[in-house]
């Protein structure tokens, strides 16, 4: 008896085209795959030349101006208004502006409509069981496609970097983000001891001194600047033909240090670690707080008398390319104007700040899982991968922050938290795949090839699972 194929759409992301071709061919008996892709930046990525009969580009979707009404949902304009009313839509369009539509957000509104319209036509013509993405959609075209899918009840599954950053798992929903259990691990399985060793080593690595555990990419940038956060030699080399942007970056750097706190850090305090922007981790995963000023304001409003908020800028804001759309010197002066809030020098030791804080605040940053492994609770404003971990409080307003502080003061026990986090990370490992071979884990360095390997393994696991179960 023939089994009906599992039909789905995939955006391959970073998976090399040749690898995806092999996988599609291997599973063609059990799966009916359609590929949607962006114009490739290099020859290894998916293009129309790879299985053209199943491939559609985002450009093609966007250019569908007129089609049969049967492909549109009921009350289509209401869906369009809902998309526009999500402020992240306009922020994504500003970040990835298409000059064909002029230079204003007003004209981008027309582009948004065309992307949504084309997405509905594409989805309803394909009728997939689900849409699979390899990151949270953070380009307007992918965002429109994913939102259109959810509007017409097509599940959106996303391959997300797990709290252990070389591991990947499957989640459902753009914002609901529930872990999809693709793995059935026998409690008596011999692999348990190996998994525990990985968790213990990860925790041990995150409990070193900060200078030993600093992310490899940031360590490389600081070393290239002679151990400092600013180097004229490096900046001039990086900005050879962009002297105006170099001067703006220097003024921003000076502005930050103009307002940093030079007095001794007083307890009790909360510490907010800012994100470099623009990045997916703040837009759209930062939810209502892509503009980090909102989070800082909310914490400031919620602090009990005698508490302080310390804010530390992300080092990559200055050691990497600085986008003036996302940082302005007035941002730092506004933070300084809050009477209970203080900026900290970039040189301030991150782990010491974590260890002595009542709570660590972040949108979605990896600093959150670092804090948890060191026994410090976390207040998160976005949708981090560790959102279901013990010791994490998700805040959407100042009342949530106040409630979190009260609960932490009443119930927090560092030993209990670190023990619970160990168990949580064990669960993470059992529900994810690694980009490393089990005996080759590098706890300090996980380049793009690790991500690609993890994505391929998870895709194969998903296909095996749906082949066996016919659904998720």
What are the pLDDT digits (tens) for 82-134? 999 999 999 999 999 888 888 889 999 999 999 999 999 999 999 999 999 99
Check residue 162 and give left, alpha or beta (phi > 0: left; psi -120 to 50: alpha): beta
Residue 187 pLDDT: 44
Closest to 221 (Cα-Cα) out of 138, 371, 332, 322: 322
Can you tell me the distance from the alpha carbon of 103 to that of 138, in angstroms, rounded to the nearest whole number? 20
Cα diameter, the chain: 76
Residue pLDDT, tens place only, 137-191: 999 999 999 999 999 999 999 999 999 999 999 999 999 999 999 987 544 444 4
Which portions of the chain are predicted below pLDDT 50? 186-191
Closest to 278 (Cα-Cα) out of 101, 111, 138, 89: 138
Residue 97 pLDDT: 82
Report the predicted TM-score, pTM, of the whole model to 2 decimal places.
0.94
Q: List, in order, residues 6 or more apart from 113 with CB less than 8 Å away.
A: 80
Backbone angles phi, psi at 410, to 5 degrees: -85, -35
Beta bridge partners of 362: 380
Cβ neighbours around 265 below 10 Å, total: 16
Domains of the chain: 6-183+445-469 (3.40.50), 192-430 (3.40.50.2000)
Residue 101 pLDDT: 85
The answer to whether 461 and 431 have CB atoms below 8 angstroms apart is: no
């Amino acid at each position: 008896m023939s089994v009906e194929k599992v039909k789905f759409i995939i955006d391959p992301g970073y998976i090399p085209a040749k690898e995806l071709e092999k996988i599609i061919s291997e599973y063609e008996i059990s799966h009916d795959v359609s590929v949607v892709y962006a114009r490739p930046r290099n020859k290894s990525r998916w293009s129309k030349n790879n299985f053209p009969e199943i491939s559609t580009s985002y450009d093609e979707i966007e250019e569908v101006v007129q089609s049969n009404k049967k492909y549109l949902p009921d009350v289509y304009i209401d869906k369009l208004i809902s998309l526009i009313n999500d402020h992240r839509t306009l922020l994504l369009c500003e970040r990835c502006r298409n000059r064909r539509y002029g230079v204003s957000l007003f004209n981008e509104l027309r582009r948004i409509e065309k992307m949504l319209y084309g997405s509905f036509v594409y989805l309803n013509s394909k009728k997939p069981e689900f849409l699979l993405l390899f990151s949270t959609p953070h380009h307007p075209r992918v965002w429109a496609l994913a939102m259109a899918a959810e509007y017409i009840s097509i599940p959106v599954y996303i391959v997300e970097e797990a709290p252990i950053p070389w591991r990947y798992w499957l989640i459902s929903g753009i914002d609901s983000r529930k872990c999809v259990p693709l793995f059935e691990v026998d409690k008596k399985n011999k692999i348990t001891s190996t998994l525990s060793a990985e968790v213990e080593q990860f925790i041990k690595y995150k409990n070193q001194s900060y200078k030993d555990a600093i992310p490899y990419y940031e360590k490389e940038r600081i070393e290239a600047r002679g151990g400092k956060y600013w180097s004229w030699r490096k900046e001039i080399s990086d900005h050879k033909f962009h002297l105006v942007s170099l001067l703006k970056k220097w003024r921003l750097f000076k502005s930050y240090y103009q307002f940093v706190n030079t007095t001794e850090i007083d307890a009790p305090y909360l510490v907010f670690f800012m994100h470099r922007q623009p990045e997916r981790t703040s837009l759209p995963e930062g939810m209502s707080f892509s503009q980090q000023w909102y989070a800082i304001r909310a914490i400031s409003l919620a602090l009990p008398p005698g508490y302080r908020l310390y804010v530390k800028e992300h080092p990559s804001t200055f050691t990497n390319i600085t986008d003036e759309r996302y940082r302005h010197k007035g941002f730092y002066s506004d933070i300084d104007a809050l009477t209970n809030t203080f900026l900290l020098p970039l040189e301030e030791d991150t782990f010491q700040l974590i260890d002595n804080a009542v709570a660590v605040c972040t949108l979605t940053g990896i600093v959150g899982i670092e804090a948890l492994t060191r026994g410090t609770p976390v207040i998160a404003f976005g949708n981090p991968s560790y959102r279901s971990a013990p010791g994490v409080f998700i805040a959407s307003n100042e009342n949530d922050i106040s409630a979190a502080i009260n609960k932490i003061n009443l119930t927090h026990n560092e030993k209990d938290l670190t023990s619970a986090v160990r168990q949580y990370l064990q669960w993470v490992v059992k529900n994810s795949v690694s980009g490393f071979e089990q005996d080759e884990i590098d706890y300090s360095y996980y380049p793009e090839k690790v991500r690609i390997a993890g994505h391929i393994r998870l895709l194969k696991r998903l296909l095996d699972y749906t082949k066996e179960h016919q659904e998720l």
